[in-house]
Amino acid sequence: MTEQRPTLADVARVAGVSRAAASRAINGTYGASEAVRRRVREVAAELGFEPHAVARALATGRGSAGRRERIEILIVDPDPEAMSAKPFYGRVLNGAMRALGDQDIALEVRRVSALPVDDTDPPFGRVLINVPGAAGAAYARRGRTVALGRSAPGVAFVAPDNDDGGRQAAVHLVATGRRRVGAVFGPATPCANERKAGFLRVMSGAGRAVASADGDFTRARAYMATRELLEREPDLDAVFASCDVTAMGVLRALRETGRRVADDVAVVGFDGSALAEAADLSSVYMPVEDEAESAIRCLLDPARPAPARLPTRLAVRGSS
């Protein structure tokens, strides 16, 4: 009788992991922690397991059809020009590609105005951006999911310290003697709400009332919101913009109404993007590339703990 060769299932059983985890560990692909890789390979050596060449090709996602595993970055943003108008998304892609390196994984980016109803071909993993909490939880139940920004309880996320960024912006304006302060805040998303909370907390403690308007992270809405603020409070001497794109609309409105930046009105943005540097805009820098890189690494290795809030830093320039 010929002795039966050990199978991948045998390796998985002895190592105490799933067959899929054993396959990833054997083939050295994404999705298995270093501890799992080491354990599985030790067991494989003990059992004398040798992976079949065809099976290896399939396991690495390069079978006869040439289909690769993919990670999807799902962005909910109603602005049709969002990908070109908002530097944030380009920085996310840069960080994601940095995390993937030379791994044979496809990166798919999908911007939608509203969440898709069906999910018939789920990817290996998803990074969620601006996805509401309940929907984020639903996606997390279907597979590996990491959100950029706080989402529903139980949904892994990576985020900068938005609250402290708002605090830094407010401290700077108070310290430079600005007393009639306005703000164009963002939409009702966790990240925008955190920036708003940090900013208002300092202003309240300093006895500064804040004239505010709601924005949506677009230049057009920020421009209109700033015009509205100036009509209500013509003597504003500072404006906090919830992101750098918003700040561009604020600056345009100030120029058109004859206000000098920063002599008459100081402006502070949030993101620290290339827009801020080009416009000589004081802005709270957040490490978007690091945020996206961490999210992808968490998808590739679920045992990897999500990082603590990433630090933000105010860069003071000519606008304030």
Residue range(s) of every CATH 1.10.260.40 domain in the chain: 8-59
pLDDT of 47-66, one tens digit each? 888 765 434 443 444 433 44
Q: Is the pLDDT of residue 275 over 70?
A: yes
pLDDT of 155-197, one tens digit each? 899 999 999 999 999 999 999 999 999 999 999 999 999 999 9
Residue range(s) of every CATH 3.40.50.2300 domain in the chain: 70-159+289-308, 162-287
Q: Domain 70-159+289-308 falls in which CATH fold?
A: Rossmann fold (3.40.50)
Q: Domain 8-59 falls in which CATH fold?
A: 434 Repressor (Amino-terminal Domain) (1.10.260)
CATH superfamily of 162-287: Response regulator (3.40.50.2300)
Of 1-5, 66-70, 139-143, highest mean pLDDT: 139-143
Among 133, 250, 277, 135, smallest CA distance to 193 is for 133
Looking at residue 7, what is its pLDDT?
A: 83
Q: What is the mean pLDDT of the chain?
A: 88
Q: Is the pLDDT of residue 8 over 50?
A: yes
Question: Which of 7-21, 143-157, 178-192, 239-253 is predicted with the least confidence, judged by mean pLDDT?
Answer: 7-21
Using CA atoms, how far apart are residues 143 and 155, in angstroms rounded to an integer?
A: 11
